[in-house]
Amino acid sequence: MLFPPQSNTLTSPAHSRISSVFYATASALILGFTACSDRTQNELSETIYEVDGLIQDLALEDASLIIQHEDIPGYMPSMTMPFNLSNVDEAKNLQVGDAIRFEFVVEETNSSIRNLKKINPSELDLPERPAPQNVKAKHVVEGDNMPTFNLIDQSGNAITLDTFEGKQFVLTFIFTRCAMPEFCPLMSSRFAKLESLIRDHPNLLENTRLLSISIDPEYDTPKVLADYADRYTEDSDFWRFATGDSEEVAKLTKAFRVYTETAGGTLNHGLCTALIDTDGTVRAIWRGSVWEPEAIFESLSKTTTP
């Protein structure tokens, strides 16, 4: 995972707001402490950031808050994202519009927030919220035709729906600056697992492709996507990472109801993954991050091929 440099103290929001908590077993033994040996692997690798933000919505039934947060230096830019609560009781007296400071605890596969406290809104340094993009697109449902598109992949090659003619493909939406383990890194890791499953079946491999579409086209140039892709795959033909004109990307995010909002570094987005059949039909749509690679692999295996 892409963790920032280690630090021994929790810094203030005026500085880097980064604190990496790493417990070294060898040092503990030297000091004569044995308690560290009982710590879990998650405790050994958690990283803590002190973050300021503005509550945009309460989702206490899901034990989460939707927060527009400031830049987290060395980790990710300002965004509006759902944050998991370590303790729901901490948020019971909070409301939409409250400015808060909190500890953001990141582990290898999950994250959460704790030690929430209200602060003066004047302490926040957030970009202005933008006007929504005026892009019209029909919402896609299962059974619809896949919308046409004109994008560019990580190698700088143009890709359209015709690029996948005669092949089924799975698409998802990501962006390279998204660092929360439950979001884009999880989607890309699951696609990597899906690629591994497919490669064990040569017939399926020949007939299948993966497509990750960036929702941050201004930052995610082909070069940036190429560097990102290298972390997950060695086959740029099988798994393409796409960017392009912002309106072209917006047509797809709106079609698949992947709500995005960008301005001044703030990016709010949802998660959607879809399977497109060989004839261009949207065969299946998975919302959020609840899907597993094995489930999509099973759906791919059932798809009728010519």
* Same domain as 232, residue 161: yes
**37 pLDDT higher than 80:** no
Q: Which amino acid is at 197?
A: L
Q: Are residues 160 and 113 in the same domain?
A: no
- The pLDDT-based confidence of 269 (bands split at 50, 70, 90) is low
User: 174 and 107 share a domain?
Assistant: no
The answer to whether position 206 is within a domain reads: yes
pLDDT at 38: 43
Query: Residue 215 domain-assigned?
Result: yes
In a domain, 13, yes or no: no
Of 123, 138, 164, at which residue does a domain stop?
Answer: 123
Using the predicted structure, report yes or no on whether residue 18 has a pLDDT greater than 60.
no
| 134 — pLDDT class (breaks 50, 70, 90) | low
Give the lowest-confidence range in 81-85, 213-217, 273-277: 81-85
- Which pLDDT score is estimated for 55? 94
* 167 and 78, same domain (yes or no): no
* Cα gap 269→267, rounded to integer Å: 6
CATH number, position 214:
3.40.30.10
CATH number at residue 55: 2.40.50.320
Pick from 85, 107, 123: which residue ends a domain? 123
Contact 172, 253 (CB under 8 A): no
Q: Are residues 156 and 275 in the same domain?
A: yes
Which amino acid is it at 275?
L
Residues 52, 124 contacting (CB under 8 angstroms): yes
Which is higher by pLDDT, 29 or 40? 40
d(CA 84, CA 66): 9
pLDDT for the residue numbered 260: 60
pLDDT at 130: 55
Question: Quick check: 139 and 219 in contact, CB under 8 A?
Answer: no
pLDDT at position 155 is 96
SS3 228: helix
- Dump pLDDT digits (tens) for 230-256: 999 999 999 999 999 999 998 998 899
Q: Is the pLDDT of residue 261 over 60?
A: no
Query: Are 165 and 296 members of one domain?
Result: yes
Domain residue limits at 44: 18-123
In a domain, residue 28? The reply is yes
**213 shares its domain with 93:** no
Give a yes or no: residue 184 inside a domain: yes
Q: Mark whether 97 and 155 lie in a shared domain.
A: no
Q: Are the C-beta atoms of residues 219 and 175 closer than 8 Å to each other? A: yes
Does residue 203 sit in the same domain as residue 63? no
Q: Residue 43 — pLDDT band, cuts 50, 70, 90?
A: low
Tell me, yes or no, whether 103 and 160 share the same domain.
no
164 and 262 inside one domain: yes
The model's pTM is: 0.71
**pLDDT for residue 132:** 53
Contact 48, 21 (CB under 8 A): yes
Convert the pLDDT of each residue in 77-124 to its tens digit: 888 878 999 999 999 999 999 999 999 999 988 899 999 999 999 999
Q: Is the pLDDT of residue 158 over 70?
A: yes
Residues in CB range of 137: below 8 A, 6 or more apart: 147, 250, 251, 252, 254, 255
Residue 59, domain member (yes or no): yes
Place of tokens 């994202």: 81
14 vs 140 pLDDT, higher one: 140
Which stretches of 134-260 are assigned E, i.e. beta strand?
A: 150-153, 158-160, 168-174, 208-214, 239-243
At 290, is the pLDDT very low, low, confident or very high (cuts 50, 70, 90)? confident
Q: 295 and 154: one domain?
A: yes
Q: How many folded domains does the chain comprise?
A: 2
> Has residue 185 got a pLDDT over 80?
yes
